[in-house]
Each structure stands twice: as C-alpha cells, then as structure tokens.
Amino acid sequence: MSDLKANTNRQDAIGAVSVSKTAKESRLYNFFLQNGVILGMVFVMLLFHIINPKFLVFNNLRNVLNQSSLLIIMSIGMMMAMSVKAVDLSIAQLADAAGLISAIIIIHRGPPWMAFVAPVVFGLIVGLLNALMISYLGIPAIIGSLGMMFIIRSMELTLTTSGAAQVLFTLPPKMTRAFFFLGIGKVGPVPFLTIFTAIIIVAAHFLRHRTVFGREMDAVEGNARVAYLSGINVRKVFGLAFVMGAILSAIAGVALAARTGSAVPRSVEGYLMECFVSVYLGVILSRRNKMNVIGTAVGALFVGLIGNWITLMGLGAPYKFAINGLIILIALSIGTMRKSNQSS
C-alpha cells in the first residue's frame, strides 16, 4: 500500500498542499474541458485561414499532410517509449542516420530494396541495443538513449566525412525512381506517402491499444512493480517499446529522404522537440488524459499545419519556436485543469 502511495504522481503531491477549487459546477465549462481542445485547434486553424486565405486550400493541405509524415511517424515512435514512462532521445538522430544510410546505398548503386531494408534493420539493431541497456541492464532511459544519440551522431559524421549532404535528386532518374516513389509517388490524386503514413498510424494504433501487448504496456506505465507481480514480463514489454520506437523512426527517416531527395546529416535533430509537442497534444486530445496513437498523429499534424502557416506568412524560425513553446504551455495548462477537475 505504501509502495502504491509512493508511486502516485509527483505533481499531485506538489499540488496537494493547497486543494485547487475549479468551477466544476458549470456544465459549459465541463463541455469545453472535454471537447475544448479539438474545438480550439479547429478555431485556430480557421483563424489562420482568415488571416491567410491560401492556408486551408486542398493543394496546400495535401502538401502539409505529405510533409508531416516524418513528424507523425517519429512522434508515434516517441510515444511508444513515453507511454511506458521512458523517453528515447536517440530517435531523431536515428531517423537522420536511417535516411543517410538509404541515400548512401542508392548513391553507391546498391539494389533498390536494400535502400528500404538496410535502414530499418539498422533501426532494429539500435532499438535492441537501447532495450538491452535500458530495460535489461537498468540504465535510466534518459542516459542510455542520450549515449546512443551521441554514438549514432559520430557514426553519421564518420560515414559522411564530417557531415557532407548526400544529394539524390541530381542522380539519373533511373537509379532513384523506385526509391522516390515512397516520397513523391501518387496513387490517383493521393500521394503515396500519405497512404503509407495512414497505414502506419492504423497499425500502431492497433498494436498499442487493441492487443494484449498494448495492455501490458499500459500496465507497465501504471505501475511496473504491480505489473511484475501480475506475471507480465516487464523487461520484455519495456524493451520492446524502444524497439518499436526505433523502427518507426527509421521508417520516418527513409520517408524523409525519399520525399526531399537528399539526406543532410544532423538535419532531423530539431524535430526531437516537435515530437514532444505532438505527444503532449495527443495527451490532451484524449478523454482520459493518456498518451495515444491517434491523438499523437493529430497533434503532429497540428504542429505541421502551424509550421506551414508560419512559412506561408513568411515569418520564419523565431515564430515557429515561440509558437510551439506557447502551444505546449496552453496544452498542459488545459491538461492539468482537466485532471484536477476529474479527480475532485
């Protein structure tokens, strides 16, 4: 019992000193707490559209969907690790390296299938190493994945002799056609990459929320000790979260290289922060304040849309950083308000 108590949320304990009194009486307030987030997102989008009418147009939306695929897939990978109370700082670097590997294979005239398989195998290996370190040897996730990030970075720099960009779009089309289909091919009017991303979202959703394994992850998130006592192989479940995250981010990296036609070492690192933003947006999008696949994907798309709007307005990076920061703040304030409302 005392064990359970010690495990209750730290933030609750900090807040426990003064019981917050929210206006829980009002129905309208409750409605907005439940559905306000998605309404707020739609409202922001509409407002942005009024400011710049080029924003919510079919062609632009199709582009944004396509461009957001990297962030969506990577954020789902991050969500996998975060939903068992861990964090994987290596995924952005891994996505970077995966794109680089496929680019190098194509430039050196390797077989086209290798350009898809090799990066994913690389992701698998990195994921297994992470799992070994963090789940089986007991290194805290933040340190293990941080160390892995540094190691992958070194590997990348060595592969490209201190970070030269690997350019694919200048190669003869015959060499790159198969690879580029993933990134810029179309099935009818719909880009192939969008379909591909949708498939991944559905598969990840199924795996995370509709299988026994997914439930075991929930149990590990809730209380690892209790999960162990109820017969779950905690180390395996915890480790597999990292393996899945790593494979997903490797796929994301390949998709990025296929879409942009180049791989620039250390260019994906900046997306690590946006992954966190997406995951937390996903949390407040869910009714139960939990991390989930669909919410994360919607959150990532929202982040992508805002980035696109900022580019359309010609505003540039400072605004992007500042707005992303504000989104997290607003999102989490709403999240904590909802939590205190539910628990009281």
Q: Residues in the site for another protein, rule: CB under 8 A?
A: 5-6, 8, 10-11, 13-17, 82, 84-87, 89, 133-144, 146-151, 153-155, 157-158, 161-162, 224, 234-235, 238, 269-270, 273, 276, 280, 316-326, 328-329, 332-333, 335-336, 340
Question: Closest distance between another protein and the C-beta of residue 311, in Å?
Answer: 15
Question: Closest distance between another protein and the C-beta of residue 121, in Å?
Answer: 20
Residue type, 102: S
- Beta-bridged to residue 262, according to DSSP, are 167
Q: Which is nearer to another protein, 208 or 320 (CB)?
A: 320
Question: Which DSSP letter does residue 11 get?
Answer: H
Q: Which is nearer to another protein, 259 or 320 (CB)?
A: 320
Instruction: Kindly tell me the burial class for residue 276, based on how many C-beta atoms sit within 10 Å of its own C-beta (0-12, 13-18, 19 or more).
Output: middle
Q: Which is nearer to another protein, 229 or 322 (CB)?
A: 322
Contacts of 87 (CB under 8 A, 6+ apart): 78, 81, 141, 142, 145
Asked if residue 67 lies in contact with residue 304, where contact means CB atoms within 8 angstroms, the answer is: yes
Instruction: Kindly tell me the burial class for residue 137, based on how many C-beta atoms sit within 10 Å of its own C-beta (0-12, 13-18, 19 or more).
Output: exposed
Structure tokens at 270: 């900046």
Q: Which is nearer to another protein, 112 or 163 (CB)?
A: 163
Long-range contacts of 30-39 (CB under 8 A, 24+ apart): 30/341, 33/334, 33/337, 33/338, 33/341, 34/287, 34/338, 36/334, 37/281, 37/284, 37/285, 37/331, 37/334, 38/285, 38/298
Question: Closest distance between another protein and the C-beta of residue 47, in Å?
Answer: 20
**Cα 297 to Cα 248: distance, rounded to the nearest angstrom:** 13
Q: Which is nearer to another protein, 144 or 191 (CB)?
A: 144
**Cα 99 to Cα 160: distance, rounded to the nearest angstrom:** 12
**Cα 17 to Cα 39: distance, rounded to the nearest angstrom:** 33
Q: Which is nearer to another protein, 16 or 46 (CB)?
A: 16
Q: Which is nearer to another protein, 200 or 246 (CB)?
A: 246
User: Under DSSP, is residue 195 helix (H, G, I), strand (E, B) or coil?
Assistant: helix
Question: Closest distance between another protein and the C-beta of residue 163, in Å?
Answer: 8
Question: Closest distance between another protein and the C-beta of residue 226, in Å?
Answer: 13
